[in-house]
Amino acid sequence: GLNKAYRSNEFDFKYFTAPIRTLVPRPNPYALYLTQYILEVIINDPHVIDVYGTDLEIYTLIDGIISQVNEKFERTEEEIVKQLSHNKSLITGSRDYEVALEQLFYKKVGSNEVSRK
């Protein structure tokens, strides 16, 4: 679902989410996309027996998970930046700083999560 969203252009993204774009006043576009993906693609998969919940309940669940992931990512990013700020030999924005930042992300988050971004 997210790979499809990532590769789609703006028109395709908006077209795909159009049926539920008024579900909530100011939707998270990725939560909206994943909700529509579940409602249109996953529900039609022959291996899926049923999807429980209203469109709004599904959206709310997905949006909550995305918010949790974002909060965790932001906390981790803040910890890493704070850790790097103690190293006086690194200058923010320099290549060495970027390399150190990436290495700490790999260490804290894991290579799979970082390489997907």
Q: Is the dihedral of CA 25, 28, 29, 34 positive or negative?
A: negative
Residue-level pLDDT at 56 = 97
Q: What percent of the chain has pLDDT over 70?
A: 92
Average pLDDT over residues 59-75: 95
**Statement: residue 99 has pLDDT above 70:** yes
Average pLDDT, the chain: 88
pLDDT band at 29 (very low <50, low <70, confident <90, very high): very high
Contact of 20 with 36, CB cutoff 8 Å: yes
Handedness of CA 111, 72, 14, 57 (dihedral sign): positive
How many angstroms separate the CA atoms of 42 and 37, rounded? 6
**Phi, psi (rounded to 5 degrees) for 21:** -65, -20
Mean local confidence (pLDDT), 67-78: 92
Q: Which phi and psi (to 5°) does residue 59 adopt? A: -60, -45
Q: What is the pTM of this model?
A: 0.72
